[in-house]
């Protein structure tokens, strides 16, 4: 018995939907923003620039929106460079090393000699700073394109970055006083860098914090929900897989400034 073939006709309506746009294999994953230091070994990298990890694009500044509150994390590297190959131990909460660390350095972070400031407090020499680096892990999006990025803020960049976040905190408090429900993504800011006076390295800096109108707030609220649901779905499916527990690391364009 023969079966008739069904001929499918495609029209302009298919193009209007965006071919492949909703494919699970074509979903945009966060790239990484790093601050290029004078000690970089990356080809073409310019000290003081913000560099995109996968493309090598460099910017003097970027207009960003933070989708989530910053998270404290820790990374401990051995050998030269700051890559996944050299990452020995890491923590995603600064309380305990993650079980997927190659070699756990201690049961708890506050008991770990790699994170101890005791030697530095006695000598005040940079080489005696704790080798396990604490940093702020951020998920941000570019203001216009809405492309997502990871932004890890280390050591001397931490203070100027937190000062910038204080401006956002004040804006959120003002929205609260007006009877609104404030969110961190109700504000955009310019991320840039500046050279430390008398030093040979750069630090991140936040400037020009601006609030959004109600339509923009709703727009980024929808983006937040989409990202939050994607993260929640990924964790539920790959809870014990490396994809979910991938540590944050620099890609060679950024040498940690301390």
**In this structure, is residue 11 part of a structural domain?**
no
Asked if the model's pLDDT at residue 140 lies above 60, the reply is: yes
Q: pTM of this prediction?
A: 0.81
Asked if the model's pLDDT at residue 182 lies above 90, the reply is: yes
Q: Which residue has the higher pLDDT, 28 or 215?
A: 215
**In this structure, is residue 188 part of a structural domain?**
yes
**In this structure, is residue 56 part of a structural domain?**
yes
Q: What residue numbers bound the domain in which 224 lies?
A: 28-237
pLDDT at position 25: 74
The answer to whether residues 196 and 204 touch, using CB atoms and an 8 Å cutoff, is no
**In this structure, is residue 86 part of a structural domain?**
yes
**In this structure, is residue 201 part of a structural domain?**
yes
Number of domains present in the structure of the chain: 1
Beta strands in the chain (DSSP E): 31-35, 50-52, 58-59, 62-66, 71-77, 87-91, 132-142, 148-154, 187-195, 202-211
pLDDT at position 230: 80
The answer to whether residues 105 and 97 touch, using CB atoms and an 8 Å cutoff, is yes
**In this structure, is residue 23 part of a structural domain?**
no
**In this structure, is residue 6 part of a structural domain?**
no
**Mean pLDDT score of the chain, rounded to an integer?**
84
Distance set, CA 111 to CA 69, 95, 121, 197 (Å): 26, 10, 17, 35
**In this structure, is residue 230 part of a structural domain?**
yes
Asked if the model's pLDDT at residue 184 lies above 50, the reply is: yes
């Amino acid at each position: 018995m023969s079966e008739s073939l069904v001929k499918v006709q495609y029209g302009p309506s298919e193009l209007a939907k965006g071919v492949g746009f909703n494919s699970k294999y074509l979903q945009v994953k966060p790239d990484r923003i790093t601050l290029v230091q004078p000690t970089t070994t990356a080809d073409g990298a310019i000290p003081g620039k913000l560099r995109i990890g996968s493309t090598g694009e460099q910017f003097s500044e970027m207009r960003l929106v933070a989708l989530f509150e910053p998270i404290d994390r820790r990374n401990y590297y051995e050998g030269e460079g700051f890559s996944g190959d050299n990452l020995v131990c890491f923590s995603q909460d600064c309380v305990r090393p993650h079980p997927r660390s190659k070699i756990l350095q201690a049961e708890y972070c506050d008991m770990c000699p790699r994170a101890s400031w005791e030697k530095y407090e006695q000598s005040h020499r940079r080489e005696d700073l704790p080798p396990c680096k604490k940093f702020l892990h951020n998920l941000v999006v570019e203001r216009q394109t809405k492309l997502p990025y990871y932004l890890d803020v280390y050591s001397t960049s931490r203070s100027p970055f937190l000062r910038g976040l204080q401006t956002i905190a004040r804006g959120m408090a003002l929205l609260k006083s007006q009877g609104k429900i404030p969110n961190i993504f109700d504000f955009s800011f310019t991320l840039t860098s500046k050279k430390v006076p008398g030093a040979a390295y750069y630090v991140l800096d936040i400037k020009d914090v601006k609030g959004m109108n109600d339509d923009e707030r709703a727009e980024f609220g929808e983006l937040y929900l989409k990202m939050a649901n994607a993260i929640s779905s990924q964790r539920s499916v790959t809870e014990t897989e490396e994809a979910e527990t991938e540590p944050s690391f620099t890609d060679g364009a950024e040498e940690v400034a301390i």
